[in-house]
Structure formats: structure tokens, C-alpha cells
Chain A
């Protein structure tokens, strides 16, 4: 499992951890039943405080990505990939909608918006 923490990022460290574990799950790098390192071990490896990794695991558990067994540790939960995809799509839809609203406010024509999207996507 690869996790890279940025100290200068505006995103809190625990969120960086949850997001990266989530993407590993979505990408299929972490499969159902895989054991995660213990909270304290991960904290040591990442050189962050224990409370940070603890919070990251708690968030992941709340969202159903992982489950914990007392005394054994935390494991990747079974994922409904289809549902997750749909959720993600919905988020993208919302974000695009916000971009469209903004464009309309300044009378940006659809072609130009499309062009912008093309350029950004290529990057």
C-alpha cells in the first residue's frame, strides 16, 4: 500500500490518507479481506500522530470501506463497485453543473467551455 503525505497540502493529513486508501480500493489494488497495517504501525511509517491514522480508519469504517475486528485489526470490506461508480459519477455531475452555472453567469459559450474541458482533460 502506497501513501504519500504532503505537509503543505491544504487537505488535512487524515483526509489524504482516507482518499489514497479509497483510490487504491477503487483501482483494485486493495481487495476484499486485505489486512491494513495497525493504526500505530501506520502512524509510525507515515510519521504522523496516532490520532491522525485513527481518525482516517474511523472515517473509512464509517463509509464502509473497511471493517475492524477488536484484537485483530482492520480489513478491506467487500465493495459494491457499481454503486461506488455511480456515487462518483453523481459527484462529477454536480461539479460539472457548478461549472456550467458559472459559465452561464459570464455568458461563456458552450464551445469555449468544451474547449477548456478538452485542454484540461488532456493535461
Chain B
């Protein structure tokens, strides 16, 4: 299964070279951006590059013909997602550090939590959506969520005061570790859903 994660890096050897300028671009031209956002974008970069690659090639036919079970293929996706996230965060922190841009552990925690939640939404979609539609669907839903997400969140914050009060009463470390835990739980549920979808697929 490690082979499958390693595979992503063989596949992306050129794209990883683009990765560094890609992140630098956000560092320099995104002064107004929260560092958490840069971490998030960087985390997505590797996972989604492999997904779009897999969509082009008949990779699922190949992987399923090799001695891997479908469960392992999905597991490699989800574990790979976390590995890619850690790699991306390490790279980005290094770059931020080199160029003397401030960031905090909180930024990393927020971006990890957000990455896990977004990945939980998009990974199963990849196995449902028809070939060629994945990238537009992801972009559109990303935009939609970015636009309608905050108003919905503030709507809930104003109207469901019990939840807001509960969150407000939490200490800051508890809040962040709690949200990471919740997002990991969501990620695990998403993993289970992807397995169910993938087990039923034909290639």
C-alpha cells in the first residue's frame, strides 16, 4: 500500500517542481491572505494533482488488475491525502520561514482541519462523478462553498446560540484540537463511504 502512496510522487515528479513556485506565488502575492489559506492550497495541490491524473489515465483499471484490493486502493488515497498534507505543510512552513513570513501553529491546525473536511467531501465525489467532470465540479463547489459558507456559518452562529455559546466557552487549545478531531472523524466517515462506493464500481 505504501507503494501506492509512493506512486503519487513518481507520477508527480514534474508537478512537484511546479509546486514550489506555486506556493511561493501565494506567499508573495497573497500578502493579505491568511497563512492558513496558503497551507490549505498547498495541501490540496498534491492530492488533487494525482486525482486529475488518475482521471485521465485508465488508472483504476490498472490498479485493480494489480494485486491490490479495492479497500487498499481507497486506503492509499486517504492515507496518501494525509501524507501529502503533511509534506505540503512541511514544505510551506519551510518556505514561509525562509522568507520570513509569520505563521502560527494555529494556522496549521485550521488548514489541516479545513483540508480534511474538504477532502472528505471531494474524495468520494471522485468515484461518483463521471470522467471529465471532476475538475469543474470541484472548482464550482469550492467557489460555492467559499461564497455561501460564511453567510451560512454566521446564520447558524446567530440563530443557534446554544452551539455558539458552547464553542465560545471552549478554551482555545480545546477548540483547535476539538476541530481537528471532528474533522478527522469526518475524514474517517468519508473514507468508509468511498470504500462502499468503490467496492461497487466496474472498471
Direct contact between A and B in the complex (CB less than 8 angstroms)? no
Interface residues of A (CB under 8 A from B): none
Residues of chain B touching chain A, judged by Cβ–Cβ distance below 8 Å, are none
